[in-house]
Structure 1
Amino acid sequence: MSMLVLVLSGVLVLAIGGCVCVVWAARGGPRWVRAVAAGTRMAGELVSRSGRTNRSTGGSADSDA
């Protein structure tokens, strides 16, 4: 259980750090910040696309709305 909490905490810290880099890059941060922000945006797009494909193949009540 504690290992799971540790892993999830690490993922949360990485996500928050990525969001901070996206905001900082939008304000003209250094090159490494723009690189991290690009990676964060790419990862977010991948997660978003995978969520869309899972929902569309699921055929659940979401399509009834």
Structure 2
Amino acid sequence: MRNVIGLVLLGVLGLAVGGCVCVVWADRGGPRWVRAVAAVTLAAGERVRRSSRNRCRRVNGNSGDGQPC
């Protein structure tokens, strides 16, 4: 069971690194498929960031003081 979890985590890490490489490559004018992968990677990162920020507000309340979680 630990081997399967390790393989899944390794796969997720590989996808994250590959996405970051595509973002850098697309910024330098890569092919169309690289720009598409970069757009998906950036959109997923933005979604995770928003989700994290919303989770912090639910846990800490919306104090509006601008302090991070």
Cα RMSD between the aligned structures? 1.9
- Compute the displacement of 1:59 (Å): 1.4
Alignment partner of 1:28: what SS? coil
Aligned match of 1:55: 56
Alignment partner of 1:55: what SS? helix
Question: Superposed, which structure 2 residues align to 1:1-65 within 5 Å?
Answer: 1-59=2-60
Identify the structure with the greater helix proportion: 1
Unaligned runs of 5+ in 2: 62-66
Letter in 1 for 2:47: L
Alignment partner of 1:36: what SS? helix
Identity of aligned residues (%): 60
Letter in 2 for 1:58: V
Quick one: distance in 1 between partners of 2:4 and 2:54?
30
Unaligned runs of 5+ in 1: none
Provide, for residues 10-59 of structure 1, a one-character-per-residue CA deviation record: whole Å limited to 9, x for no partner.
00000000000000000000000000000000000010011001111011
Count of residues paired in the alignment: 63
Q: List, as ranges, runs of 4+ consecutive aligned residues in structure 1 with deviation greater than 3 Å.
A: none
User: What TM-score results when the alignment is normalised by the length of structure 1?
Assistant: 0.89
